[in-house]
Amino acid sequence: MLPKLPEFKSGTVWLVGAGPGDAGLLTRLAERALLSAEVVVYDALVNEEILQGCQDSAELIYAGKRGGKPSARQSDISITLIELARRGKRVLRLKGGDPFVFGRGGEEALALAKAGIEFRIVPGVTAGIGGLAYAGIPVTHRDTNNLVTFVTGHGSSGEVPDGVNWSGLAQFSPVIVLYMALKHLPQIADKLIAGGRSLAEPVALVANASTAGQQVVVTSLGQCRDQIMSDLISPPVIIVIGEVVNFRPDLDWFKTEVASLTNFKAKLSMV
């Protein structure tokens, strides 16, 4: 028998990870939250199909960046969550992937804690693990790596994060998973090569992982340095650098379900 789920109480906030896209990757707690939330505050990366899982009467509040519009300020989002909870609502804060992985879930949870609002964290499948699995890439494999690093390619001020020791990373981490890194990939590849990584090292870029629009480009670190990959593929993109990419030809189980890949290949071959 399946375990009994906790009650979603009025006046509380659930910070929930929606996974990378495929609605089947929602946890049972996420599903419970969708079914009972009165207000859903959601991000750009949350798949529309997942939002359809909430009550018809639920109020939906968009708190992300889309169509070049500026994103809602982080403090505004936290204030909204606090106010809604104080009004006695069951508030679902729905985020792409996992709320605590480059998702600012920590900041929101801290604001709630400070305001004395009861909350629950519902982890989700993060793009850097589950998204890669949908591209047939295991994030660790016994023969290739006993270590993996998750890195953001986007500093808080928009540049390549300078708090990252890129040459150290090049030396110690056989597999590197980059979030939000499409724009700065040439500079990042350059830094990793300068730190000793091979030009030929395999790299995979997975866009819209786990959705019908998933696209995958497999290339090399040297190529990433020289080519603007954003000409080929559009965000959200998760990037993995390392030998695990070589498992993809054998493990690409999702390929038959990828609708737009054929067109994409045509586009690639034109470049």
User: Which residues are the active-site residues?
Assistant: 43, 65, 180
Tokens of 40: 């859903």
Tokens of 235: 């965000």
Distance in Å, CB of 14 to ligand SAH, minimum? 16
Compare residues 178 and 193 and give the one whose CB is closer to ligand SAH. 178
Nearest in space to 206 (alpha carbons), one of 155, 134, 99? 134
The number of angstroms, rounded, from the C-alpha of 193 to the middle of its chain's C-alpha atoms is 25
Compare residues 173 and 210 and give the one whose CB is closer to ligand SAH. 210
Q: What is the spatial distance between Cα 54 and Cα 34, in angstroms, rounded to a whole number? A: 5
Compare residues 89 and 132 and give the one whose CB is closer to ligand SAH. 132
Q: Determine which helix (DSSP H) or strand (DSSP E) holds 107, and give its type and residue range.
A: helix 105-115
CA torsion sign for 118, 48, 210, 207 is: negative
Compare residues 11 and 64 and give the one whose CB is closer to ligand SAH. 64
Distance in Å, CB of 117 to ligand SAH, minimum? 21
Distance in Å, CB of 37 to ligand SAH, minimum? 19
Crossing angle of helices 74-86 and 105-115, in 10° steps, is: 40
Nearest in space to 27 (alpha carbons), one of 130, 140, 104, 103? 130
Identity at 202, one-letter amino acid code: P
Placement of tokens 């500026």 in the chain:
70
Distance in Å, CB of 54 to ligand SAH, minimum? 20
Distance in Å, CB of 122 to ligand SAH, minimum? 12
Distance in Å, CB of 25 to ligand SAH, minimum? 10
Nearest in space to 177 (alpha carbons), one of 188, 191, 190, 193? 188
Q: Vertex 238, ends 29 and 120: CA angle to 5°?
A: 20
Q: What is the spatial distance between Cα 29 and Cα 145, in angstroms, rounded to a whole number? A: 32
Q: What is the spatial distance between Cα 12 and Cα 119, in angstroms, rounded to a whole number? A: 5
Placement of tokens 């169509």 in the chain:
67
Q: Which residues bind ligand SAH (CB under 6 A)?
A: 20-21, 45, 95-98, 101-103, 126-127, 131, 179-180, 206-210, 235-238
